[in-house]
A and B are shown apart, each in its own frame.
Chain A
Amino acid sequence: MWDSTTINMILEGIVGTVYMSIVSTFFGYILGLPMGVLLTISDKNGLKPNPVLYKILDAISNVVRSVPFLILLILLIPFTRLVVGKSYGTTATIVPLVISAAPYIARMVESSLKEVDEGVIEAAKAMGASNTQIVFKVLLVEARTSLITNATIALGTVLGYSAMAGTIGGGGLGDIAIRYGYYRYQADIMIVTVILLIALFQIFQNTGMFIARKLNHKI
């Protein structure tokens, strides 16, 4: 039915989408995980309360999250050019994806870490654990399942955002869906890309949940 060019294009689209989602989520965590940890420990009931630091991080996270992704994408074009040298294509899309995902990830990390039982933290303190030890050996370990579950959600969200970036030439499946399906009225291509996006989402979701379940020892 389709010629090999179309099929190749769609295959490249899949690779592009997977690449954008995974790399962006990864860098999102590089920024978001420490930010989430800092939010947790600087909070008023945290390990080392610091109202000023908390307020600053809180403000950054809220401001970035309240800017609609499409607007952020456009606002960040000069910055993206500075970082990767161009403002279109999959690699360029990673920049705004990371910026928008990081504060969102930080919030999820914060909520995961705050679920850790106070009593366990107290027990560690009573053993003479330092705050650093509590973060790395208690909080991040005990919250593991919740962190992975949330990472799965983050990956899914980033996948959706990456498709949105297609509107301004972001590459990947979303780009194809918009260029062929919307601008050229090729509904078949649009439907295929949408089905592929759903399939990818399912694969990410199931893999993440499987890992989270495997690693959980609390019933």
Chain B
Amino acid sequence: MHEIEIKNLSKSFVDKDTKVDALRDINITVDKGDIFGIIGMSGAGKSTLIRCINYLEKPTSGQVIVEGKELGQLNEKELREQRQDIAMIFQHFNLLQQKNVIDNIIFPLVLQGVKKKEAREKAFELLSKVGLEDKAKSYPSQLSGGQQQRVAIARALAADPKILLCDEATSALDPQTTASILTLLKEINKEYGITIVLITHQMSVVKAICNKVAVLEEGQLIESGRLEDVNLPEDKFFWLNKENELKNKEFEKAGIKEVRNYVG
């Protein structure tokens, strides 16, 4: 059995009379223990695709099967229970600003009705795992981006998930911090056997930790497979350059000369 199976998935957004096909006929299988990278430039449909895996976005057609259960068949309550097995971290961390680090980490456990004392023990354990023992009482606004993402990772692990979804988790971080977060993700994958699905537009991220990769372009999967079998562009900044190219075309149309993205 595959850990995650996406079958003939399509998603379109309808707004008044315009219809946008965000994803077209996507087929992906992710096995237990994989670190699966989905790469593409912005607007390719990566965010929508990763949100289909926990049904934050409901596909227009097709199936998402997680741990043998088809998410479309589950009712509201069953879906919420299934989501406890699928943790998620985000580009902008999405921590509760009014709660300190420990209360953020125990949050998923509190939602599940776990006793506070028990939850806190677990949280301190995870906090030392992500290397922030001394920040238990700090609030997110007092932490750096990298530290906030570590807290978010600890929070994601609190409910013992089987799968971790990473939505551009390192895109807001500098290269050193990115590297340390990626190392942490790899450790988690090894130590807890958690399957990771990540989306990114950074080739370096995929090359650093993924064993499988899928390339998404304009809502369609153009390639997917084991990292060594997939033809990825040599140029490290391929996607970024491509994005720039497109942007420049748009800007040209609008009469603006040239715009560059600077890579950190």
Contact = CB atoms under 8 A, between A and B. Distances in A.
Contact of B99 (A125, A141, A145): A141
A interface, by DSSP: helix, strand, loop or mixed?
helix
B127 to A, nearest CB: 18
Interface string B55-89: 01000000000000000000000001111101110
A206 interface: no
A128 B108 CA distance: 8
Interface stretch (B25-33, B90-98, B194-202, B253-261): B90-98
Interface in A80-100: none
Contact of A142 (B84, B96, B139, B159): B96
* Candidate in A122, A141, A217, A219 with the most chain B CB atoms within 10 angstroms: A217
A127 B84 contact: yes
A119 B87 contact: no
A218 interface: yes
A137 interface: yes
Contacts of A4: none
Nearest to B152: A123
Nearest to B142: A219
A130 B96 contact: no
B84 A120 contact: no
Interface in B235-253: none
Interface in A91-140: 117, 119-120, 122-130, 133, 137-138
Interface in A156-197: none
Given A120-B94, A142-B98, A127 B141 contact: no
Given A133-B111, A218-B141, A126 B87 contact: yes
Contact of A128 (B84, B95, B97): B84
B80 A141 contact: no
A65 interface: no
A123 B111 contact: no
Given A133-B111, A217-B139, A127 B83 contact: yes
A29 B112 CA distance: 30
B36 interface: no
Interface residues of A, number: 24
Contact of B96 (A125, A126, A138, A215): A138
A129 B94 CA distance: 15
A125 B94 contact: no
B97 A127 contact: no
Contacts of B111: 124, 127-129, 133, 137
A79 B99 CA distance: 44
Nearest to B141: A219
Contacts of A119: 90, 92, 94
B110 interface: yes
A123 B86 CA distance: 11
A37 to B, nearest CB: 17
Interface in B97-126: 97-100, 107-108, 110-112
A127 B140 CA distance: 19
Given A217-B139, A217-B141, A219-B141, A126 B95 contact: no
B224 interface: no
B86 A142 contact: no
Given A137-B111, A217-B139, A217-B141, A128 B98 contact: no
Nearest to B54: A126
A147 to B, nearest CB: 11
A218 B88 CA distance: 23
B80 A123 contact: no
Given A138-B96, A144-B98, A127 B107 contact: yes
B97 A218 contact: yes
Interface of B: 54, 56, 80-84, 86-88, 90, 92, 94-100, 107-108, 110-112, 139-142, 159, 165
14 contacts: A117-B94, A119-B92, A120-B97, A122-B90, A123-B95, A125-B83, A127-B83, A127-B159, A128-B80, A128-B81, A128-B84, A137-B110, A217-B98, A217-B99
Given A120-B96, A141-B99, 7 more contacts: A125-B83, A127-B88, A129-B111, A137-B110, A141-B96, A217-B97, A218-B98
Top 9 nearest A-B pairs (CB, nearest first) are: A128-B83, A123-B94, A119-B94, A218-B97, A217-B139, A126-B88, A128-B80, A127-B108, A128-B84
